[in-house]
Structure 1
Amino acid sequence: MTSAVTEEAWNEFHSVVNMTSRELQDWLRTRAADEDAEQPPPHAGNKTGRRVLAILAKRPGDLTEADAKVMREVVDTVRAQRKPELEPEAGDGPWRHALMDIGHDPLKPPSDPAA
């Protein structure tokens, strides 16, 4: 790990970002699509979602301080809006979609840490 991101921060980020990079990319492209055109992948979705997607593509040693800041923001946002155990929860559409915009699908069951 780099000095920018500890192993604990890396693990916590990956525990709350439960969408794969492919799922997040597809979601951001869907959200960015309108009736006239679809945004190209590098510009699809919100800024934080695009940053999360970039972080998911990196190795821990390649992360920067800016990446660490985004990771902390995402963890804080998800933890503030979810119960600590992150059990699947439906909620309303806008709430779920806002969390999915940053890589967390509240309907997905928690991953098995032993797997």
Structure 2
Amino acid sequence: MKSRDEIWREWQNLVNMTPAELRRWLDTGDSKAVGDTGGKGESTGHKSGKRILTIKDTKKADLTDDDWAHMAKVVGYIKRHTAQGGPDEDKEHSDWRYSLMNWGHDPLK
């Protein structure tokens, strides 16, 4: 298991959208249209994006064990999906990019 220092470093590097950018993104139809909903309406990634905003508004010293666990999950998701490289054409408007953006990472930045 990674240390909190490792999680923090990776989180800082990989979650590259500002809270304002992520908030605006999560309000779009494209954000709401991608990802697995598990039949429950809102996708896992979209829910994660909202949780990321809460974490970003929390001081590091005040993060809970659940926050740290979610941060590790976010880091893992971003690493796995960026490793896929995305589509060969039109990455800008792809579900691959949109899904990553729900998790706080814009691969085109």
Asked whether the two chains share a fold, i.e. TM above 0.5, the reply is yes
Per the alignment, residue 23 of structure 2 pairs with 25
1:94 Cα deviation after fit: 0.2
1:81 Cα deviation after fit: 1.5
1:50 Cα deviation after fit: 0.5
Aligned length: 87
Per the alignment, residue 72 of structure 1 pairs with 72
SS at match of 2:68: helix
Larger radius of gyration: 1
Letter in 1 for 2:65: E
**CA RMSD, 1 decimal:** 2.1
CA distance in structure 1 between the aligned counterparts of 2:17 and 2:107, rounded to whole angstroms: 10
Q: TM-score, normalized by length of structure 2? A: 0.71
Structure that is richer in helix per residue: 2
1:10 Cα deviation after fit: 1.2
The list of structure 1 runs, each at least 4 consecutive aligned residues, that deviate by more than 4 angstroms after superposition, is: none
CA distance in structure 2 between the aligned counterparts of 1:67 and 1:20, rounded to whole angstroms: 18
SS at match of 1:46: helix
CA distance in structure 2 between the aligned counterparts of 1:66 and 1:47, rounded to whole angstroms: 15
1:1-115 aligned at under 5 Å gives the runs 6-30=4-28, 31-32=31-32, 46-83=46-83, 91=91, 93-108=94-109
CA distance in structure 1 between the aligned counterparts of 2:9 and 2:54, rounded to whole angstroms: 16
For structure 2, list consecutive stretches of 5 or more residues without a partner in the other structure.
Answer: 33-44, 84-89
